[in-house]
Chains A and B, each alone.
Chain A
């Protein structure tokens, strides 16, 4: 390896003035204190990685991955949105100059130019200077692009009521149980429970679903008479025999699962 002595460098970079085939420099030729990658530096990287992983796991525990309702193509009220890192493109296509007759401009030409320029950056910015302030055109174009993407993303996200959207699209398991309306307990259910707990036991605004409850016959009888939680007492009207049939009916539906 040749040492740095007598070599001429161009500008602030470490490119030698006389052209020659690129031969990587030995790291020991860099000025200052070098450190062995193995094992010294790798151990530090490992520690940074561990701290990062802990933070990342905290994020996943604090915010479980969202899941919405099963896809329903007939849901015309649904506001379609892409993942956040595509929001800028989605927003761009909303503007008049980039949609309708100008769709090709918004969908192909503008992003194509931006990403094409990014891809070909080394051939567009050919100077030997590396410091950002010594190549103002390149730096300002990148800053402009960055601000544009940031602004478009903000514009797209700021007008969405994310909480209401999540609330309206909570996941719920589609009911797979069949309600046997000929069951002797169904008539009692219809009289006393259906109004709040729904025709398919699916629950409603005032009462939870009865599918997936883990109560036995006696417990259900007790709840129907005495209430539980927010459910008031004396909801059941009928005879002791009907109460027994009702409880058996609810248990039988739950046994189907």
Chain B
């Protein structure tokens, strides 16, 4: 049945090459933990992606309750945390996932770095990867404000002060993030929400797409 459905679609749009590119390849021995246990270091990239998927899904569910406005943001999170069925679990996944993804990303970076896997021909993929790291950190930074509790508010005030201290563009950068040259308030929350939920994920998906296409194109680096 499945085979016949596949054949039916394949006859019309020729998806076999696409399928080959995505799934039809061999996994070399040196990255397979079943053969060499030390190859578990190759898992960190995949786990980063896995946690990213968790973040996207849990984040989508959180927006069902979250209200990006200073009157209700905290109340909506409190309500989610105390009243909504499994709300605590979903928010917990998003909260801890934000930390775990940084840890996994860090381990993945160290693996690639110490194995020298960024060398020719993989220079571009390394740079895309570092950009993904920056985007992740920015996601953490903007997401931190959204519950609008004390630690969120004061951490953001400090962040904006640091941004302001940058010579030449500091003032403008601060106003762009803040929505106002001095007040950290309703505008700031709305902007951080938009950046966290729309701008940065869009950038992240583009970069991840490039990252994965290049991996499939270039293959995994050879054994040391």
Contact = CB atoms under 8 A, between A and B. Distances in A.
Contacts of A130: 115-117, 119, 221, 224
A57 B95 CA distance: 12
A78 B154 CA distance: 8
A24 interface: yes
A169 interface: yes
A205 interface: no
Given A56-B54, A64-B88, 19 more contacts: A27-B219, A30-B29, A33-B29, A36-B26, A37-B27, A38-B24, A67-B147, A68-B152, A70-B149, A71-B152, A78-B154, A82-B155, A83-B144, A86-B137, A93-B162, A108-B167, A119-B130, A122-B126, A135-B116
A81 interface: yes
A136 interface: no
Nearest to A38: B23
A157 to B, nearest CB: 13
B92 A33 contact: no
Contacts of A52: 47, 50
Contact of A81 (B30, B33, B75, B151): B151
A12 B224 contact: yes
A96 interface: no
B26 A28 contact: yes
A222 interface: no
B218 interface: yes
Max chain A Cβ within 10 angstroms of own Cβ: one of B78, B92, B159, B221: B92
A107 interface: yes
B120 interface: yes
B88 A65 contact: yes
Contacts of B217: 24
A119 B23 CA distance: 30
Nearest to A66: B95
Contacts of B100: 56
Interface stretch (A42-50, A190-198, A224-232, A249-257): A42-50
Interface string B130-155: 11001001001100100111111111
B60 interface: no
Contacts of B157: 80
A238 interface: no
A221 to B, nearest CB: 29
Max chain B Cβ within 10 angstroms of own Cβ: one of A61, A129, A130: A130
15 contacts: A13-B222, A30-B30, A33-B35, A56-B100, A60-B92, A69-B149, A80-B157, A82-B159, A83-B99, A104-B167, A122-B120, A128-B120, A131-B224, A132-B115, A171-B149
B120 A15 contact: yes
B89 A60 contact: yes
Contact of B149 (A37, A67, A173): A67
Contact of A22 (B50, B95, B218): B218
